[in-house]
Structure formats: C-alpha cells, structure tokens
Chains A and B, each alone.
Chain A
Amino acid sequence: MIAVRGHAKPATHKRRRDVAPLLLVPVVVLIALPLVGSVSSWVTLTVAGLAMGMIIFIIASGLTLVFGLMDVLNFGHGAFISIGAYAAAAFAPWVAASLHADSLALNLAALLSLIAVAMVVTGALGYAFERIIVMPVYGQHLKQILVTIGGVIVAEQLIIAVYGPVQIALPLPTAFRGSLVFGDIAVERYRLIAVAVGLVIFAAMELTLNRTKIGLLIRAGVENGEMVQALGYHIRRLFVGVFMVGSALAGLGGVMWGFYREALTPGMGMDVMVLVFIVVVIGGLGSVGGCFIGALLVAVTANYAGFLAPKLALISNILLMAVILLWRSRGLYPVAKR
C-alpha cells in the first residue's frame, strides 16, 4: 500500500468525482422498464445484459490498459479469448468429476481451476506475444495492426489444426445450470456467477490502480510514459507485466464467455472483439472505470434493443457509440495525455 511516513495534513481542496457517466447505466435500465412492459422480462433482460457486460468488461479491461499504457493497437487480443476458452476445455476432462458433481463447492473449485489454467496459459502466451511480436513494432501503429491480426490468424488456425473447425461443447458445471425463480422472475444461475466474477475483477483492478504503487505507475504511464522513466522506473518492465495481465484477463473472459454459450468455436475471440473495441472507445482509451461503464451500457442496450426492435439491435452499439462520442468525444472518462 502507498503511504506518507508520518501523518499527512488533511486537504481543504479535494478531487471532484465526475458522476454523470455513472448514471448512464441506471438511467438506461430505468427507461427500459416501461418500454419492455413486463417486470419479469425486464429483470431477465437486465440480468442477462449485466452478465454479458461483465464478461465483456473482463476482456476489454486488459485491452484498454494495453492501449492506454503501451499505445499498442493489439488486434491479437481476440486470440487470447479463444485460447483461454480452449485451454479450459482441454483441462476440463481432468476435473470432470468435480465439474459434474452435485456439490456447489466442488463445482466452484473446478470452475476456479479451469479459470486458473486459462489465465496461466494466456498470461504466458501474452509474455511471448509481447516479446516476439509486439516489441519490435512499438510506435508503429500500422505494423502493430498487421502483425497482431496475423497473430490472431495463426492462433485460429492452430486451434483448427488441433480441434477442427467445428464447435465443441463446454457444458456448465451442474450447480450453475438452470435458473433461480422469484415469483414470475427467472434468473439463470450462471449469469449471477458472471456478474459476481466481473464485480470481483473490477474491485481488484480499482484497488490495484488506486491503492498500490504499481497501480499509480500504470495510471501515470498511461498519461506520460516518458516522465515515469525520468522518475526512475523501467516502463518496459511495466509494459510486459500489463500485457501479461491483459492477456490473462482475456483468457478469463474466454472461459466465462465459453461457459455462457456452452460452446467454443475457433473464431469466438474475434467475434466478440468488435464489441470489445466499441467498449474501449466508449469508456475512453486507458480508463478501467470508463471501460466498466461502457461494457455494461453496450450489453444492456443490445439486450433491450434485441427485445424491443430486433432489427435495430444490429446497429444499436454503433448508435450508442456515436451518441456517447457526440457527448464526450474522447469517451466517458478520457485519460489525460502528454
């Protein structure tokens, strides 16, 4: 934890919190209630939207930090989503007994072990990806786009070579199947798990970024990497660490997304990347808080639009991004840049 030795004087002037973006999700959710009409449908749509939003946040949070801190356009992020999901599927037979036992504790333990495997595999691959593919093209955006897209294509083809082009099943653990019923309202259990995991990741990132020195370094590096070096910190080491964490989070998101759909396809990572990029832009490049709000906003809006006007759902996210950028051209919580 960061501290001042001794007792610091209380301040008379404090930082003001920009609360307007925080109100967006509650406002959209409340506006949707009369439009949807049925409370049970509204609750189902909202919980599904929040669950999907949390998974998108987990994936996008790593990308926004890599974008903001390293100024790297990593189109290869989608590869880590797929690889994370397939790594979990590959390890699943080893914990099949726990995964399908009639015990919530065993199911949770199995899920956590699959998540751990996915994060270790994608974190390690992230290290190699940064060292071999990204490092030679720092500061060269066009080359970054080309080589990272190339990385995704290679990853997808490797997955196809091992598992074939067809989708494979990733069944939910026994205790997470089905719904919890409250009167007329049914809420799928796994969606609640997804919301809980998303909240834990968000809290952990907020604590790390705001209460630790490494978090301070990341926030400062997003704003002015050169000055961080001039203060005596090796920013390249920070880059590697953040890239590994970002890749591991994509892997975690891949596992959560795989269980959400109960099926994996080699292209699942790239399929979700359009949403992820929209979230990163809406939130403000490099902003984890903006990314969190953006992900929830994108997901609940898509769900409501899909229910109320299915044709509109195809463009709802683009419309949402346009509206947000008209309001705040650099996203909800823009990070100051040098």
Chain B
Amino acid sequence: MSERAPLLSLAGVNTHIGPYHILQGVDLEVPRGALTMLLGRNGAGKTTTLRTIMGLWHASAGRVRFDGADITAWATADIAQAGIAYVPENMGIFSDLTVRENLLLAARSGPIDETRLRWIFSLFPALERFWLLAAGALSGGQKQMLSIARAIIEPRKLFLIDEPTKGLAPAIIANMIAAFRELKKHDTTILVVEQNFLFAKSLGDTVAVMDNGRVVHTGAMMELAEDHALQHRLLGLSLDQHQ
C-alpha cells in the first residue's frame, strides 16, 4: 500500500435508513496524517457517513476502503479492531461505569499503559480528578473529554469524531482545540464532523463539505476559510459570521 494513498476512502456510498435514502453516492478520501473536517448543514448526512464507515449502518451500494481493505460489509467490532476509533455525537459514555472503567474497556489489548494515561491526563486533567467517579456524574464537557480519551487510550490508525464541541462552553472548546493540536503532533489521522466553524478553521488540514447526502466540495481547509463566496455557496453562511 502506497504511503500516499488515502487511509480511508468512500466511493459511491449509498445508505438507506428504513425508507429514507440518506447517503446518495458519497465520494470521500481521508489522507494519512491529516485532520479532515467534514462540514455541512444539518441533515446533510455527516453523522450517517461516520456511522456507515463504522458499520453501524451498512451501505446499500458503494465501497468503503480502509488501509487497503474493503470494509464495506464488515461487522462494527471488526472495523474497530482494524484500527478505527469512533466518538459518536452523543459521546457514548457508559454512565454507570466509572471514568477508570470506561477507559479500561477501551483498552482492548490489555492493561492501560501508564505513560499514555499520563499523556491523557495532561490533555484532560479533570479525568484524573474524577478517576473513580461514575461517568454519568460528569459535566457535559468532562464527558466529551472522556469520550475522546477513550478513543485515544491506545494508538489507532484513524479517529472518527462526531461534533466534539457540541453544547460545550467556549472555555471547554479552547481546551478541546489545544487537545486536538497535541493529538495532531503525533501524526494522527482524524476525520471530524463539526458545526463550529472556528474550531474547524483552527484545526482542519483538509475539508469536505456535504449537502443532500453527497460530498459537494473537497480541498484544503485554508482555501475554504479564505474564500467567503465559496463558504456562502456551500454552507449558506460565512465562516466569519460564526467567530
């Protein structure tokens, strides 16, 4: 497999949920070692795209390839074992389990590595403070930190993160931006669905914009950030209006 080949690619992916045809031929490439932002209006199909990649909803047509393998029909657990970590929109925290137990469960290969845990505590200090607290008792921001910590508790090839800033206070978002910048230093490949344009502009290397179940634009994040006409055409709003 060429190092220049995208780590993840979707070709003509269609997804139906019941009678609804949500994804209508999604073509998307996620380059290795980059943070790709997946933007779009509400209902454009961003979350469905992540869930289809994870096998939580199966594509009715098209192909999903990850690291050289066709994972279109794989079971979710096998996709995760292939090296994809997923943070859903609702965070997927196990409320009845403690912070420690949530992380232990995410560490599939055995005990949590102490050095990596220290690194995670440096990104999200609250998790160390609430180590033995039931995760359901955490604040919204702390739950989001835990959901991301759970994804990065062991090295993975690709991280799929759905709206990490949703409902968070500006101070917590700043904390998240710092954490993602730290993550990017480790040559990580990340695909983030996001509605917060400041967050997207701060972190994105590449961007894909979705509309009506299709990817309608791909390119460098900086190009989109600087092209107000393009923003208006693709997203209906200027990024600057959200800063």
Contact = CB atoms under 8 A, between A and B. Distances in A.
Interface in A223-246: 223-224, 226-235
A8 B104 contact: no
Interface residues of B, number: 39
Contact of B88 (A5, A230, A233): A230
Interface string B104-121: 111010111110010001
A219 B96 contact: yes
Question: B-side binding surface: helix, strand, loop or mixed?
Answer: mixed
Interface string A4-20: 11111111111100000
A71 to B, nearest CB: 16
Interface residues of A, number: 35
B97 interface: yes
Contact of A229 (B77, B104, B114): B77
A27 interface: no
A220 B134 contact: no
B129 A15 contact: no
Interface string B39-65: 000000000000000101000000000
B132 interface: yes
Contacts of A13: 129-133
A236 B104 CA distance: 20
B116 to A, nearest CB: 9
A159 B96 CA distance: 42
Contact of A5 (B54, B97, B110, B132): B110
Contacts of B80: 229-232
A135 interface: no
B111 A4 contact: yes
22 contacts: A3-B111, A4-B117, A6-B114, A8-B117, A8-B131, A11-B128, A11-B131, A15-B137, A216-B101, A216-B104, A217-B105, A219-B101, A220-B94, A227-B92, A228-B105, A229-B56, A229-B80, A230-B80, A231-B80, A231-B108, A336-B94, A336-B95
Interface of B: 54, 56, 75-77, 80-81, 86, 88, 90, 92, 94-98, 100-101, 104-106, 108, 110-114, 117, 121, 128-134, 136-137, 150
Given A4-B117, A216-B101, A227-B92, 4 more contacts: A5-B114, A9-B128, A229-B76, A235-B77
Please name the 7 residue pairs, one residue from A and one from B, whose CB atoms are nearest each other, closest first: A6-B114, A232-B80, A227-B92, A5-B111, A11-B132, A336-B95, A11-B131
